[in-house]
Amino acid sequence: MASSPSTKSNFAPIKTRRAFEVICEQIREQLAAGTLKAGDKLPAERELAVEFQVSRSALREALRSLEVAGIIRNVKGAKGGAFVQTAEPDRIVQAMQDYVHLGDISLGELTEARLALQNIIVRLACARATETDLTELEAIAERTRQETSVEARYACAVEYYAVLARATKNRIFGIFVDSLSAILHEFVRGPDYETLQQSLIESRFKLVRHLRARDEEAAVAEMRKHLERVHRHVRKNSKAAASG
Amino acid sequence: MASSPSTKSNFAPIKTRRAFEVICEQIREQLAAGTLKAGDKLPAERELAVEFQVSRSALREALRSLEVAGIIRNVKGAKGGAFVQTAEPDRIVQAMQDYVHLGDISLGELTEARLALQNIIVRLACARATETDLTELEAIAERTRQETSVEARYACAVEYYAVLARATKNRIFGIFVDSLSAILHEFVRGPDYETLQQSLIESRFKLVRHLRARDEEAAVAEMRKHLERVHRHVRKNSKAAASG
DNA sequence: ATGGATTATTGGTCGGACCATTGAGGTAGC
DNA sequence: GCTACCTCAATGGTCCGACCAATAATCCAT
């Protein structure tokens, strides 16, 4: 059955399989099969090179690829080596950021996706948020109030959204939210942003109150109002930047 | 303001910045700034190495990283080189797949996310799908009926979801859907899958009819019914695999 | 003009060398 | 006996120089 598409062309795509690709693939297979799992340590580079019968350079390119993909982490020194990582969404975020930079994803698409996503999240969080989640959200909102720099407050906002997503007890949403946060961060600029920030804090407290009351519709409405204000600001400043 | 978190530790994180990281960063910067854009060709490796004042090996590791990230594509031969790519969501999908493999994302999380996502998509598609989109969806459903192999039919299903997502006119949703499709593909197994596939085709036609009638609620309901059947199957086979 | 051989360019791989970091073990001094 | 320092081996990071393989432009013979 190897390489026999039933209906289309019968020519197999020509693949100049590079050594490092094959290596990556094999390691990924072991990962999917469970032979390798988070925390495991791969043999030393020089050793692996012998095992795969490739030069150390080729092997290193493979390891580098896996590291960039967030699968392993290379640590130097004695007792160092390549360690299989635990899942971190950073790479997904990075990949999405690259995608937006390379492509022509418009701000409109980003904000629309964000709004729709937060709509789901608020509904789920409303049903599932624990008291711990809610107090944490309040703590973050409170901390936002005390922060002095714009950047610090923005970091708080990102954390607020992340914790809210976590309250859904579904990590997929967390990934999506983190990605959009990172991308939209680049658009959040402008002189009047600071005053906007201030006014958003109260909205965050309100949302928590709605969540605690398990008032889904009110929570959704609050989030929508909240985001629409942010997006108005972003859009305005984006246009200003484009025209300048 | 450099490296002065106001409330936390005052020690800046020690970073042993590796050469290839710095190179990647610089190239990414040029990308974000627009100095580099899709289609551009980077200088030859040997040339770039001189420019960055690093060895060719280090430079190659940087290029390899960027290639794995989907930012550039290396092409061999005269007039070859590293070309800046147009945006492709493949890498995001790959990253998500890695994340799921590494982590312990449960099937429940995946299916829940999928359901919520498709809910949004159907609503948006209902409002925005053009006649072209709808006929394309029908064509795919029709093709599914004619395909003979399980794999080919699954490919059609993936395409159906992709086109549906495209009908929202928001590429972000397309990325999310593609990612989930790729991940959930691994779970779609079992002897009775073929009969399930057959019965799903009719559902796809129904959905298109609802979309054409702009009947949002009916469309959403159909999609929900559709996915719940799939998920029941997947869950059953997943349990069977786990117990075996 | 055409078509094949030649050549220059460029990424892919190789092997070997040295550096920098890190942890372990050993040693001197208290 | 404990601590502080030194030494050393392991390991990733980098460099160099070479050759291979694919590829497109060029040249040459027909």
- pLDDT score for A241: 58
Confidence of residue B9 (pLDDT cuts 50, 70, 90): very low
- Which helix (H) or strand (E) segment holds residue B138: the answer is helix B131-146
Q: Is-contact A171 B109, C-beta < 8 A?
A: yes
Answer whether residue B194 shows pLDDT above 80: no
Chain B 15-54 residues whose Cβ is under 7 Å from strand C = 16, 42, 44-47
* Distance in Å, alpha carbon of B7 to nearest chain A alpha carbon: 8
Residues B200-213 have a mean pLDDT of: 94
Q: In which region does residue B227 sit, left (phi positive, over 0), alpha (psi from -120 to 50) or beta (all else)?
A: alpha
At A65, give phi and psi (nearest 5°): -60, -45
Chain A neighbours among B 190-219 (CB < 8 Å)? none
The CATH architecture of the domain made up of A90-243 is: Up-down Bundle (1.20)
Q: Is-contact A59 A101, C-beta < 8 A?
A: no
Residues B49-65 have a mean pLDDT of: 95
- pLDDT score for A171: 92
Q: Is the CB of A17 under 7 A from strand D?
A: no
Chain Cα centroid distance, residue B226 = 22
**CB atoms A98 and B148 under 8 Å:** no
**CB atoms A148 and B104 under 8 Å:** no
- pLDDT score for A112: 93
**CB atoms B32 and A101 under 8 Å:** yes
Please report, for chain A, the start and end positions of each structural domain, with discontinuous segments joined by +.
Answer: 19-84, 90-243
Chain A neighbours among B 29-68 (CB < 8 Å)? 31-32, 38, 57, 60-61, 64-65, 68
Chain A neighbours among B 132-151 (CB < 8 Å)? 147-149
Please name which of B85, B104, B71, B88 lies closest in space to residue B178, comparing C-alpha atoms.
Answer: B88
Q: Does A16 touch chain B (CB under 8 A)?
A: yes
Helix, strand, coil percent content, chain A, rounded in steps of 5: 70, 5, 30
Residues near B201 by beta carbon (within 8 Å), at least 6 away in sequence: B141, B144, B145
Q: Is-contact B209 B135, C-beta < 8 A?
A: no
Mean pLDDT by 10 residues, chain A (244 residues): 40 68 93 88 94 95 94 91 88 84 84 94 96 96 90 90 96 90 79 79 94 96 92 76 50
pLDDT, tens digit, 9 for 90 and up, residues B79-100: 889 999 987 888 888 888 888 8
Q: Does B14 touch chain A (CB under 8 A)?
A: no
**CB atoms B113 and A172 under 8 Å:** yes
CA of B64 to C1' of D10 (A): 27
One CATH from 1.10.10.10, 3.10.20.30, 2.30.30.100, 3.40.47.10 for B19-84: 1.10.10.10
- pLDDT score for B5: 39
pLDDT, tens digit, 9 for 90 and up, residues B123-173: 999 999 999 999 999 999 999 999 888 888 889 999 999 999 999 999 999
Residue with tokens 């395409």: B159
